[in-house]
Amino acid sequence: MANDDEIARESEDIRLQIAHARAALYDRAKLQREARRQYAREYYAKHREEHADYQRQRRAAQREKDPDAYRRKSRERNQRWRDGHKEEVNAKIRAKYHADPEKHRQRRREEYAANPEENRARRREYYAKNREKQNAAHRIWRDREKRRREAGLPPRRLHTTRREERLANTAAANAFFDRVWTARELVQAHKSIQTSRQLWAEWKRDCLRARAAYHLAEQKEELARLRKELGRARTGPKPKSGPTKEEIEEARLEAIGRQVNERLRHREPPRRPHHLDPAAPHPMLQPNQTTGMNR
């Protein structure tokens, strides 16, 4: 027993020594890797130009050896980088466009004028691939413009703006409409209006009608909400509405089904009542009385 304990302690000591040795090797390898990285960074910082010249010469040799493969690999490498930095690339493109949008519009117009057939073919190809999407967008646009014409509104002309510009416009609008006008400013504003009294009166009537319609709609919504709350607060059984045609037909079919089941169901013969005399013989021991063809 003592020998077994000593062997177990020796085995545990050996395992601990192996673990410590492995940890020391791991730490030493980690320090060596970090030292190599630091040495590589310092070497690159000291020989930056030499490294750049070497890379340029290597790329030139690859380009001269196989130009098509070099361009293909370069495109693939650039595409992988763009896929990994998509948000950054899109942000740069948006910033470059918003810095001078007219320049980019003019360049697109020139490119379209230089290659009209190619651009038309590209547009036809895109339309063929996205036919349903394009048709749905066109239907939405036609329906919206039709509603605008019926309402007497001008055609919709919108353009995209940058987020900074939208925030600045919103702040300026809030500052303009939220400020309190003085009596002098109101008098000057009324004097500057070149509108006839008839149109001014019609506009006031339309405003009053719109305000009344708005308040009436609010009152209807409030009345519906109060009725709903009153219905929830009422106690007792709620009045039930009469059965619908579907419910009546379903009940009729259910009754017919029950009658058919009662008529066609196989019924077992009634069981004989158990005898009450404990001294009487068991019913299964009585001889069977044969009847019919087996007599």
Mean pLDDT of 239-247: 71
Top-confidence residue, 10 or 179: 179
Residue with tokens 């790329």: 59
Q: Is the per-residue pLDDT at 284 higher than 70?
A: no
With cut-offs at 50, 70 and 90, classify the pLDDT of residue 201: confident
Percent of the chain surpassing pLDDT 70 = 84
Q: Give the model's pLDDT for residue 262.
A: 76
Q: Is the per-residue pLDDT at 280 higher than 70?
A: no
Q: Give the model's pLDDT for residue 295.
A: 43
Mean pLDDT of 242-250: 79
Least confident stretch, 26-30, 53-57, 190-194, 282-286: 282-286
Mean pLDDT of 23-39: 90
Q: Give the model's pLDDT for residue 80.
A: 92
With cut-offs at 50, 70 and 90, classify the pLDDT of residue 265: low
Q: Is the per-residue pLDDT at 20 higher than 80?
A: yes
Mean pLDDT of 195-211: 86
Q: Is the per-residue pLDDT at 242 higher than 70?
A: no
Parse the chain into domains and list their residue ranges. 100-156, 184-230
Least confident stretch, 39-48, 123-132, 245-254, 274-283: 274-283
Q: Is the per-residue pLDDT at 292 higher than 50?
A: no
With cut-offs at 50, 70 and 90, classify the pLDDT of residue 294: very low
Mean pLDDT of 97-102: 82
Mean pLDDT of 143-154: 86
